[in-house]
């Protein structure tokens, strides 16, 4: 059986692991394999990224440059752009993007491309793991046929499994090495091979085996749909409590004192990142194949997607109260990452807010210590779109005072919130960051 030879190599730390895609998921995983003593290849089509890695330069805040450089210099981690390196790999882990199209259908272009790349170098006793978040069935219906066109068969000559990524950028408590791992192989042997691979990173009792790839794929969608639905609930209650004159943040704090049956979720200007805005879309799309409509899930996604527009309305109302129109107003956004203390702006609601305010004629700037520049349109996603680039501006008392409105979109821990309030004429707080501020509360408008 192919998994026995592979497992022996992992246990003896002679198995070479190739990670395809060196983004927010792939690069931390590649470094983790190198730290575990497995020879690791990091493969990416972006030559600029690979060049930085070869020089020991990390482009992710969650990957310390010192650790990266040590592994690269010692040859434990080899960054590469040439797919030929896959021929030497005993395991290939696919960590490529899985966005959706303008029609809200899954875009598996990168997954298919990665699978075809692996197939060109597939060999016996190899393990292939798909980690990119996707709909149930992708591993067996999309990836498996591409690999088996080589003439090799899953479960006999090589192993194939799905294992969802559970990385939480910016989380100092949970990392790859202490977060339980779910694995589901196309055959029991495939499951065991995947368990052996990830057992090099975490304790064996932290690996949870499921019946197959579909269960593992659905696990990931359940985790993030659960979050999407609960965030939508509090976002909807935010609008209701606003009309009723109730502070929802106070209500959530009170409800959270219950030691059972309640889990706190918090409202905000919208949801971002690659998971929560995307995963429910993948699930709803796949459900239609079975003539099933996920009304509850889709409504939650719509509610969350409406929050940037809701935030803009609150800014408009706040400006109106002081006799200023949005058109021509100077507005400074604090934070454009999709959540605090990270350097990832993917699908950030702050960027949608920028577009909505710009469409109304506002003069916009932003400050984010982790994101020096943002591009507001991607021609690969929106062909023919006009490209607008904004750069983070220094945060000074004079700049704050010159703004008609400051909008706190992301509450980075490094922000001196009392100081920001003190120097702002008007501050719209979308994150309840000003809860403890006492001086200048008359200038604060909460979302």
Query: Which residues belong to the active site?
Result: 275
Gap between the Cα atoms of 65 and 108, Å rounded:
31
* 53: Cβ contacts below 8 Å, ≥ 6 apart: 22, 27, 42, 68, 72, 77, 79
Gap between the Cα atoms of 268 and 338, Å rounded:
11
Termini Cα distance of the chain: 59
H/E segment holding residue 287? helix 279-289
Under 8 Å between Cβ of 37 and 11: no
Q: List Cα–Cα distances, 335 to 50, 393, 409, 427, in angstroms.
A: 28, 11, 6, 14
Please report, to the nearest 10 degrees, the dihedral formed by the alpha carbons of residues 221, 222, 227, 230 taken in order.
130
Gap between the Cα atoms of 177 and 200, Å rounded:
9
Gap between the Cα atoms of 278 and 273, Å rounded:
8
DSSP codes joined into one string, 27-95: HHHHHHHHHTT--EEEE-S-HHHHHHHHTT---STTS-HHHHHHHHHHTSEEEE--GGGGGG-SEEEE-
Under 8 Å between Cβ of 117 and 152: no
In sequence order, the β-bridge partners of residue 389 are 375
Question: What secondary structure, in 3-state letters, does 124-180 show?
Answer: CCCEEEECCCCCCCHHHHHHHHHHHCCCCCECCCEEEEECCCCCCCCCCCCCCCCCC
* Packing angle of the helix pair 248-255, 213-244 (nearest 10 deg): 130
């Amino acid at each position: 059986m192919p998994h026995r030879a592979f497992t022996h190599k992992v246990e003896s730390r002679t198995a070479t692991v190739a990670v395809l895609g060196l983004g927010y998921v792939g690069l931390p995983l590649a470094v983790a394999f190198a730290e575990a003593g497995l020879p690791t290849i990091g493969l990416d089509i972006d030559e600029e990224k690979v060049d930085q890695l070869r020089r020991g330069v990390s482009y992710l805040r969650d990957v310390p440059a010192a650790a990266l450089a040590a592994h690269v210099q010692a040859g434990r981690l080899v960054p590469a752009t040439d797919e030929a390196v896959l021929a030497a790999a005993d395991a290939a882990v696919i960590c490529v993007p899985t966005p959706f199209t303008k029609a809200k259908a899954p875009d598996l272009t990168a997954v298919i491309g990665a699978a075809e790349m692996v197939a060109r170098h597939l060999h016996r006793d190899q393990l292939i793991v798909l980690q990119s978040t996707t709909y149930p069935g992708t591993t067996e219906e999309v990836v498996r046929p591409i690999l088996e066109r080589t003439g090799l068969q899953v479960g006999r000559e090589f192993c194939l499994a799905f294992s969802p990524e559970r990385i939480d950028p910016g989380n100092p408590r949970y990392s790859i090495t202490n977060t339980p791992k779910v694995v589901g192989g196309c055959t029991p042997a495939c499951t065991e091979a995947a368990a052996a691979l990830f057992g090099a990173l975490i304790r064996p009792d932290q690996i949870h085996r499921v019946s197959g790839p579909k269960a593992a794929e659905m696990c990931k969608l359940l985790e993030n749909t659960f979050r999407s639905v609960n965030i939508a609930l509090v976002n909807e209650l935010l609008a209701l409590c606003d009309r009723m004159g109730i502070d929802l943040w106070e209500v959530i704090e009170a409800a959270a004192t219950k030691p059972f049956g309640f889990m706190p979720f918090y409202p905000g200007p919208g949801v971002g990142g690659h998971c929560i805005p995307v995963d429910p879309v993948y699930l709803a799309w796949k459900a239609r194949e079975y003539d099933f409509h996920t009304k509850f899930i889709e409504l939650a996604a719509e509610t969350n997607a409406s929050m940037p527009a809701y935030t803009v309305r609150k800014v408009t109302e706040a400006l109106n109260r002081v006799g200023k129109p949005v058109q021509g107003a100077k507005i400074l956004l604090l934070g454009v990452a999709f959540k605090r203390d990270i350097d990832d702006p993917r699908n950030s609601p702050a960027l949608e807010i920028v577009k909505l305010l710009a469409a109304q004629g506002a003069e916009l700037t932003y400050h984010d210590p982790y994101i020096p520049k943002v591009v507001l349109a991607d021609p690969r996603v929106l062909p023919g779109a006009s490209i607008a680039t904004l750069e983070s501006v220094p945060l000074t008392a004079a700049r704050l005072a010159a703004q008609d409105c400051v909008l706190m979109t992301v509450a980075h821990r490094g922000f001196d919130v009392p100081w920001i309030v003190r120097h702002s004429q008007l501050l719209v707080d979308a994150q309840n960051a000003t809860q403890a501020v006492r001086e200048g509360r008359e200038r604060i408008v909460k979302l």
